Structure 1
Amino acid sequence: MLSVYVDLALGLVVSFLLLSLLVSGLNEAFVRLLAIRSKFLWAYLRDTMDGSDAQGRSWLPAKVRDVFAALPFVRDPRPKHSDQPAPSQAGAAPARETKAEDAMVNLLYQRVQEIDHPKRGRTSIANIPPGRFSVALMEMAAAEPGGVEGLLEKLKSMRSPLYGHLKGVWETAQRDLDRFRQGVETWFDGEMQRLSMLYKRYVKWVVAALGVVVTLLFTMDGLEYGKTLLRDNAFRTSVAAVAEAGPDAYNELKARCTGGDPVPCVTETLSQPALVKLLDQALVSVSIPAQGDPVVHWNGGLWWDRLTTPSHWPGFLLSYVALLFGAPFWWDVFRRITGMKSRRS
């Protein structure tokens, strides 16, 4: 009896793991296609170094809803890609009267463009190590006549939000260049952690939306799937019992299968696991016959009937909640049930 429940648990865990991997794959494809990571980074840098744009809007909105509208489809805050090598010396920051749009961001990009490669004409840099950022800032300060003091004066005249942050770090470092560089590195590392938290919130909402799509697309009823697993286990048990009991029990199995010979019925049933049966009820399914090429089926009518049947909705909700836990969670559960050991341990 215990093996029945173990089989049921493994079947549910594997199904949720596979669907969670599908959700994660769709999310990663979405992120890569729209360069979301790179946009997050450069939107933050534009807000921090040059301030909001002429319309007074932040490049990186605080609300996740606004981020969905701004970064993926409407606005691209990334600098244009340059295939030229980085200049040997950093350029000086422009004065207030000659300020160009995104001047500080462009100066920073010049210091890190050697690690860049183009993506539809824009930079693809999605991560700047804190140490590299502090060195780039020191290089920009070295290009100013007054060093760090001169850079701070330029930032103040440009009304850059970066001025307040660097001014505090400069005073805390007691005007020591090495301590100032370390302070900038620590400050930027903390800012990247804050940015990562916002990005995780964004990804969480994307995964939630994709979970709804995957659940409804496959009409994954978790309760129905569990019941199908138990039925399959009972059917296999009855087949094994008939095989052990001999010819006298053959008539019982014959009565369960429509047709004269139960052998094709048993073969077909055992070759179609419960997960395959459930996925056959998706909007589009693929069947692989014994001979010939795979066949694609459009199940629009069956899919809509399942979707509009209220008795399936609790199962849909169960599957959706399970997908929100993510693939790492279900992989860990699978390892615990099967006794697999992690390579780390």
Structure 2
Amino acid sequence: MYECAVLSVYVDLALGLVVAFLLLSLLVSGLNEAFVRVLAIRSKFLWAYLRDTMDGADKKSGSWLPASAAGVFGVLPFLRDPRPAHSGDPAPAKAGEMPAARTSQSMMNLLYERVREIDHAKRGKTSIADIPPARFAMAIMELAAAGDRDMRAFLDGLRKIDSPLYGHLNGVWESAQGDLDRFRQGVESWFDGEMQRLSLLYKRYVKWVVAALGIVVTLLFSMDGLEYAKTLLRDNAYRASVTAVAGPEAYDQLQAKCQGGDPVPCVTEVLSEPALVKLMGQAVVSVSIPAEGDPSVHANFAAWWERIMTPSHWPGFLLTYVALLFGAPFWWDVFRRITGIKAKR
């Protein structure tokens, strides 16, 4: 019996910590996703790659594709927009002619003409963040067929305008040995591999942003993981004592715990306020929901700042921050394993 009670305490502790880390991880993921969507980061990342691949780096500013997380979430969203202007027109029946030199017309814009049926406007720019490999391969075939030229002439044109795309397509064409169907499949496979590589690169940059957001969320909520665990154990012990007591002596014990006051309101308040709610009340701004009346918002800047500057809380902040780095999927999986919830197949 005693062992079951001890096991129940540890299960409650583990479940409480997992739920707290899961909720905060979801908040971090939500903030990151909101940032990405509002600033169209994924779309800009894709078109920066296409500009570098099809037209080459800008002579003045260098490569369009950022080389660091600061570039992805600093330069790319606010200073350089590589996306073409949105057009609601369908793709023209005949593909545009290849530019004779580096002009305002570019290979990337010609590609956009062939794929803009899947587009919708976002503040005057394209919102396309993913081009299916099969659609990209067909767009290349359509561009190659423009002007009644053959594939060799198209590749020679890419070489004349010094397009980096020439090296990739020329290799695929040589491997296809002049077979257009094999060439199309080869372009599709090559572009699919490039998109996978680009996705891995993007995820690597996103990890740095999630790490930064984890610090912000941890400090704004002043979430001390060690203190939270201690609060969970204390509440569990208190609930156990309330459940076990009976008779006048137990009433006197509860009265002593409630500092001489009426134990009924004291017990009610403790049992109705989870440890997570108590800890979230330490945030820089907290919301209280009274038993009667409307919810109210409180600014706790003075208490929050004192808590942040107290060294005894720093190990707990570090624990919470490290936990958030594991991400919401990890904590959801842990929660599912503890509760026995089975994943849908």
Instruction: With the length of structure 2 as denominator, give the TM-score of the two structures.
Output: 0.96
Residue 84 (structure 1) shift: 1.6
SS state at 2:56 partner: coil
CA distance in 2, matches of 1:153, 1:114: 28
User: 1:147 aligns to what?
Assistant: 150
CA distance in 1, matches of 2:105, 2:303: 55
Q: Which whole-Å deviations, capped at 9, do the CAs of 1:59-117 have from their partners, x for residues lacking one? A: 00233333333212211100000122211111111212xx4235111101001111110
Alignment of 1:121 onto 2:112: no
Q: Which whole-Å deviations, capped at 9, do the CAs of 1:182-229 have from their partners, x for residues lacking one? A: 010011011101100110011111100100000000000000000000
CA distance in 1, matches of 2:211, 2:181: 45
User: 1:319 aligns to what?
Assistant: 320
Number of aligned residue pairs: 340
Q: Does the 8 Å CA contact 2:66/2:76 hold for their aligned counterparts?
A: no
Give 2:205's match in structure 1, choosing from 196, 202, 210.
Answer: 202
Flag structure 2 segments of 5+ consecutive residues without an equivalent.
1-5
Give 1:93's match in structure 2, choosing from 98, 114, 138.
Answer: 98
Q: Does the 8 Å CA contact 1:50/1:102 hold for their aligned counterparts?
A: no
Give 1:6's match in structure 2, choosing from 7, 11, 33.
Answer: 11
Residue 54 (structure 1) shift: 3.1
SS state at 2:297 partner: strand
Q: Does the 8 Å CA contact 2:48/2:82 hold for their aligned counterparts?
A: yes
CA distance in 1, matches of 2:81, 2:304: 38
Q: Tell me whether 63-72 or 188-197 shows the greater mean CA deviation.
A: 63-72
User: 1:265 aligns to what?
Assistant: 266
SS state at 1:342 partner: coil
Q: Which whole-Å deviations, capped at 9, do the CAs of 1:110-147 have from their partners, x for residues lacking one? A: 01111110001100000001000000000000104432
Q: Does the 8 Å CA contact 2:84/2:125 hold for their aligned counterparts?
A: yes
Alignment of 1:214 onto 2:181: no
Instruction: With the length of structure 1 as denominator, give the TM-score of the two structures.
Output: 0.96
Alignment of 1:231 onto 2:231: no
Percent sequence identity over matched residues?
74
Residue 43 (structure 1) shift: 0.3
Q: Which whole-Å deviations, capped at 9, do the CAs of 1:265-293 have from their partners, x for residues lacking one? A: 11111111000000000000000111111
Q: Which whole-Å deviations, capped at 9, do the CAs of 1:302-326 have from their partners, x for residues lacking one? A: 1001100000000000000000000
CA distance in 1, matches of 2:110, 2:319: 51
> After superposition, where does 1:182-193 map in structure 2 within 5 Å?
182-193=185-196
Residue 246 (structure 1) shift: 2.1
Q: Does the 8 Å CA contact 2:41/2:73 hold for their aligned counterparts?
A: no
User: 2:41 aligns to what?
Assistant: 36
Residue 259 (structure 1) shift: 4.4
> After superposition, where does 1:294-313 map in structure 2 within 5 Å?
294-313=295-314
CA distance in 2, matches of 1:128, 1:25: 25
SS state at 1:43 partner: helix
Flag structure 1 segments of 5+ consecutive residues without an equivalent.
none
